[in-house]
Structure 1
């Protein structure tokens, strides 16, 4: 029962994306090394919104 409940809350989890709008990944940590090339500030969002924008989890955080 716990994994299903946890999966539902994962969609509301805060993640970070590059604020330039050009990024293809989302990041679990605000200071992920995958955001080093971002020319804008990292922006908070949810996993659900990031996935709707076609973003996938950063390879450094898999």
Structure 2
């Protein structure tokens, strides 16, 4: 019983501190097709709508690609 509790505790500890993924910034307009690593990217400054922070994986899942201005 102690071994199960110890293993369960270790599992919970390790999964609790995992990062959700790298966060990126997107412009929420319908015509926007890129995501940006830096909030001060020149491509993102042009955004006339709301700038939202999401994970890179989510951005790629909805068809966004990395901004070409960022290296």
| TM-score for both structures, normalised by structure 2 | 0.65
Aligned residue for 1:34? Answer: 43
Task: Supply the RMSD in Å over aligned alpha carbons.
Answer: 1.7
Flag as ranges the 4+ runs of structure 1 deviating above 6 A: none
Aligned residue for 1:6? Answer: none
- More relative contact order, 1 or 2 (CA 8 Å, 6+ apart): 1
| Structure 2 unpaired stretches of 5+ | 1-18
Larger-gyration structure (1/2): 2
2:61 aligned to 24, 47, 52, which one?
52
- For the residue of structure 2 that corresponds to 1:40, the secondary structure is coil
Residue 24 of structure 2 corresponds to residue 20 of structure 1: no
| TM-score for both structures, normalised by structure 1 | 0.74
Aligned residues: 53
